[in-house]
Structure 1
Amino acid sequence: MTVLEVRHLTTYRYRRPVGFGEHRMMFRPRDSYDQRLLGATLRITPTPSAIRWVHDPFGNAVATARFDAEAEELVFENRISVEHFPDPVDFQSEDYAKTYPFSYAEDERPDLAPYMARQCPDPGGELERWARRFLGLGQETPTGRLLMTLTTAIGESFVYNRRTESGTQDPLTTLRLGRGTCRDFALFMMEAVRALGFAARFVSGYLYVPTRDATRHLGGGSTHAWCQVYLPGAGWVEFDPTNGIIGNRDLIRVAVARLPSQAVPLTGTFRGSPDDELGMTVEVHVTSEDPGAG
């Protein structure tokens, strides 16, 4: 068990005082058996006139802030403390799911169907052909080995690069360019495994990068994204193709969704001219109370 502390600071700057529309936040981690929220504080400047909390269709905690004041800066500072229990993945799935191909049980298929459906166009079947390269020819393939190989192949075959623009790259663009961000790689893997019949969903959260080896993981210093694949008997298993992580080690889940656009950490608007906007900065620091963690 390790206690991980996160400080997530987002600052919007403007040339003159502007008004602000609603801002939607997904900052609060999901409580589970492998991570327990110990504390959370959210400070917003200027102070909102109201904050409303709801759970979205996926069970994520979503806060919406409304503002009366105008300002030249809008600052969101989120601090969380999470008790983190690394869950070693041994792929203890149901016997029928230990090798691929397999079919989900009839009573699970209606609930998994939205996560199995392809969400991005692949008219020529390029993505499906890429995924099928990792199947054994004319024979069953161990399911765990297949998913581990896909995860590793993405990290080794594509070049990671940061992109400040919002949105997620289409998987075919990622395939053709051979590069992308963590959210691009997460969506790429989701669509690749969906092409093989798996249920997959997008995860947004934070990545702990051990200070003793700061280059160990890609995607530190900002929010992070990966995916989960559903395996009968094992449940939703974490796969981070950016870093080749299998399981929840070093990963703090905040939100899960069918699509990346449903798990954006912070969105909102301002009232003014486009020239008023000077830009946005995001700082994320994840530290551990256990110097040997990770």
Structure 2
Amino acid sequence: MPILTVRHVTSYHYKQPVAFGEHRMMLRPRDDDDQIVLESELDISPAPSRISWTRDAFGNHVATAHFDERATELRFESTMRLRHAPTEFCEADIEDFARSHPFAYGAEERPDLACFLAPQSQHPQLERWAAAFLREDGSADTHRLLVDMTQTINRTFKHVARHEKGVQDPVQTLELASGSCRDLATLMIAALRALGIAARFVSGYLHLDDDDDDEIGGNTHAWVQAYIAGPGWVDFDPSSGMVGNRNLVRIAVVDEPREAIPLQGTWIGAASDHLAMKVAVKVAAASDAEAGE
């Protein structure tokens, strides 16, 4: 299993010392079968007066920090090492009944999948776009459907860096034929749910072999997981067109993107006191020698 190291630094800068309210962090990787956390460190300056760790309803790690000190800079540095096992999505792994779409999830699975099946958009334009991946009779090969949708978004939509908060409506993404990784993920989730396939939003990091390419790997990343009987939750990255979890470090899985913000909090001072926010992310693979230690 390859070993990946992730360093994520976020800093806020102010003209004069300001006070800080509660800050909520989702920075520690999930403990899943295909990724094993070896080390996870969180360094915060100024040091919080109190920090607590919890798990949310989806099993994601959430840290909450409280502060007493004022400062001109608030800095969060998260460093983690994990063993990462790349997995593929093979048609042979799908249960026989689910190899052809449409299919019905088992009665024992439906309650847990309900929030991941709830429609995100019921606009006719979105429904027509999703239906284009089906045959005339409304059927499809499940494996081909999922792979084709992932690669079609990568091929026909422009991936852009978008720094505004929130996500675009899926119909807007369709009309613009462009969006950030979170916009493209939201479009695919809405389309899959329109077809009756459970899908959820994933946030984390993407490791690229080309360290000079910062367009995707230089920031936090977002993609999709769909639930398929047999393999379970499978990763699909419409921004890159990749299927499977290769090079993806999973931090949080949620039903709505707003629930997976890596870092959010408040500060107390004049609006003019805020100078800048800076974010730097580095994902690197260990050398063969380091991995063998």
Equivalences for residues 246-261 of structure 1 within 5 A: 246-261=243-258
Cα distance in 2 for partners of 1:68, 1:228 equals: 39
Aligned residue in 1 for 2:200: 201
Report the AA paired with residue 157 of structure 1.
T
Report the AA paired with residue 115 of structure 2.
P
Please list the CA deviations of residues 232-283 of structure 1 after superposition, one character each: whole Å capped at 9, or x if unmatched: 1110000000001111000000100000001110000100121111121110
Aligned residue in 2 for 1:49: 49
Is the 1:50–1:65 contact (alpha carbons within 8 Å) kept by the matching residues of 2?
A: yes
Moved more, 191-200 or 273-282: 273-282
Pair 1:243 & 2:236 matched = no
Pair 1:220 & 2:217 matched = yes
Aligned residue in 2 for 1:117: 118
Please list the CA deviations of residues 55-96 of structure 1 after superposition, one character each: whole Å capped at 9, or x if unmatched: 111111100000000111110000000101101221311100
Aligned residue in 2 for 1:155: 154
Report the AA paired with residue 21 of structure 2.
G
Aligned residue in 2 for 1:33: 33
Aligned residue in 2 for 1:88: 88
Pair 1:79 & 2:79 matched = yes
Aligned residue in 2 for 1:24: 24
Report the AA paired with residue 97 of structure 1.
A
Is the 2:161–2:215 contact (alpha carbons within 8 Å) kept by the matching residues of 1?
A: no
Aligned residue in 2 for 1:167: 166
Is the 1:26–1:263 contact (alpha carbons within 8 Å) kept by the matching residues of 2?
A: yes
Structure 1 residue 218, shift from structure 2 partner? 5.0
Cα distance in 1 for partners of 2:137, 2:109 equals: 28
Cα distance in 1 for partners of 2:55, 2:207 equals: 26
Report the TM-score, using the length of structure 1 for normalisation.
Answer: 0.95
Please list the CA deviations of residues 145-166 of structure 1 after superposition, one character each: whole Å capped at 9, or x if unmatched: 0000000111111111111222
Cα distance in 1 for partners of 2:74, 2:187 equals: 33
Pair 1:134 & 2:133 matched = yes
Is the 2:122–2:194 contact (alpha carbons within 8 Å) kept by the matching residues of 1?
A: no
Report the AA paired with residue 207 of structure 1.
L
Where does structure 1 lack aligned partners over 5 or more consecutive residues?
none
C-alpha RMSD over aligned residues:
1.5
Is the 1:218–1:243 contact (alpha carbons within 8 Å) kept by the matching residues of 2?
A: no
Report the AA paired with residue 27 of structure 1.
L
Aligned residue in 2 for 1:272: 269
Report the AA paired with residue 233 of structure 2.
W
Aligned residue in 2 for 1:15: 15
Structure 1 residue 138, shift from structure 2 partner? 2.0
Is the 1:51–1:63 contact (alpha carbons within 8 Å) kept by the matching residues of 2?
A: yes
Report the AA paired with residue 201 of structure 1.
R
Aligned residue in 2 for 1:186: 185
Structure 1 residue 115, shift from structure 2 partner? 0.4
Runs of 4+ in 1 over 3 A off after TM superposition: none
Cα distance in 2 for partners of 1:203, 1:218 equals: 18
Aligned residue in 1 for 2:70: 70
SS in 2 for 1:58: coil
Structure 1 residue 139, shift from structure 2 partner? 6.2
SS in 2 for 1:219: helix
Is the 1:122–1:172 contact (alpha carbons within 8 Å) kept by the matching residues of 2?
A: no
Cα distance in 2 for partners of 1:24, 1:218 equals: 26
Cα distance in 2 for partners of 1:16, 1:234 equals: 53
The alignment of Structure 1 onto Structure 2 pairs a total of residues equal to: 288
Report the TM-score, using the length of structure 2 for normalisation.
Answer: 0.95
Report the AA paired with residue 183 of structure 1.
R
Please list the CA deviations of residues 114-173 of structure 1 after superposition, one character each: whole Å capped at 9, or x if unmatched: 100013x434x1111101111112263110100000001111111111112221111111
Is the 2:131–2:138 contact (alpha carbons within 8 Å) kept by the matching residues of 1?
A: no
Structure 1 residue 211, shift from structure 2 partner? 3.0
SS in 2 for 1:211: coil
Report the AA paired with residue 100 of structure 1.
H
Is the 1:218–1:242 contact (alpha carbons within 8 Å) kept by the matching residues of 2?
A: no
